[in-house]
Amino acid sequence: MSILINKDTRLIVQGITGRDGSFHATKMKAYGTNVVGGTSPGKAGENVEGIPVFNTVKDAVNETNANTSVIFVPAKFAKDAILEAADSGIKLIVCITEGVPTLDVVEAYHFVKSKGAQLIGPNCPGLISPEESMVGIMPTMIFKKGGTGVISRSGTLTYEVVYNLTASGMGQSTAIGVGGDPVVGLYYQELLEMFENDPETDSIALIGEIGGDAEERAAAYIKEHITKPVAVFIAGQQAPPGKQMGHAGAIISSGSGTAAEKIAAFEAVGVPVAKEPSEIPELLRSRIKK
């Protein structure tokens, strides 16, 4: 099985006629994702590689019964794109756009929740359930169907960990990049619960980084609620305090959010922490019950 997306996912691409939207819509369709349409105001009736274009998300939903949307629009339009998707009945919204103002994300996040929908991102690579569906910009060639769920704040490190998992013969059930901004949608706790309840996920790889306290809260949640093996890698172990490292959320402030604190939180609850991403497969394999 997988979580969030599968062969039944019916995807629309918001911003499909733009450079990034058209490129990745084609890639997602080629992978086998059921891309049923896209939106670009004023361009209804056109198509991108056979994918029909609609003026609005509501029009696309009415015509295609879409249930998932991926957003490739400029940052200043991202909030409105998320609100439009949620208001039109889309249940899973994946925002790839980076540079979205934090207050815009806060407003969009609460509106999405009020509509009973779910948000991934912004500033994320999306997610993939190998051999079923890919929504976002994941490099599909490194993924393999299997039993390890992957949750990551870093797109690049997602790919590195997955490459090592696949090379060691450990496939993935679903891999999700949650995004590196200070405020994003679905995060560790919600996704850990989904993987815990997925009968075909047998282990979980969690990739964190400096900044905030999400990893510490994830460690506490794992202790109380997760029975499956978990292994962790924390990025930014050499980062100096007060300096933003890559992601807007990756900054050590007021002496909190350090890699050392996050590593200590996981080790305190018995979760092994890899020194290098390449160690993740063996840490999981040694803990998976035969």
Residues annotated catalytic, as ranges: 247
Closest to 204 in 3D by CA, of 257, 160, 147:
147
DSSP codes of every residue in 196-229: HH-TT--EEEEEEESSSSHHHHHHHHHHHH--S-
DSSP state of 284: H
Half-sphere exposure of 99 (CA within 13 A, CB side): 6
Measure the CA–CA gap between 274 and 198, rounded to whole angstroms: 24
DSSP codes of every residue in 155-194: HHHHHHHHHHHHHTT--EEEEEE--SSSS-SS-HHHHHHH
How deeply is 44 buried, as exposed, middle or buried, from its count of CB atoms within 10 A (0-12, 13-18, 19+)?
Answer: middle
Measure the CA–CA gap between 66 and 243, rounded to whole angstroms: 42
Contact of 21 with 51, CB cutoff 8 Å = no
Tokens 């890919």 correspond to 134
Q: Which alpha helices (H) appear in the chain, and where do they start and end?
A: 19-31, 57-64, 75-87, 102-114, 155-167, 188-197, 214-225, 259-268, 280-285
Contact of 1 with 36, CB cutoff 8 Å = no
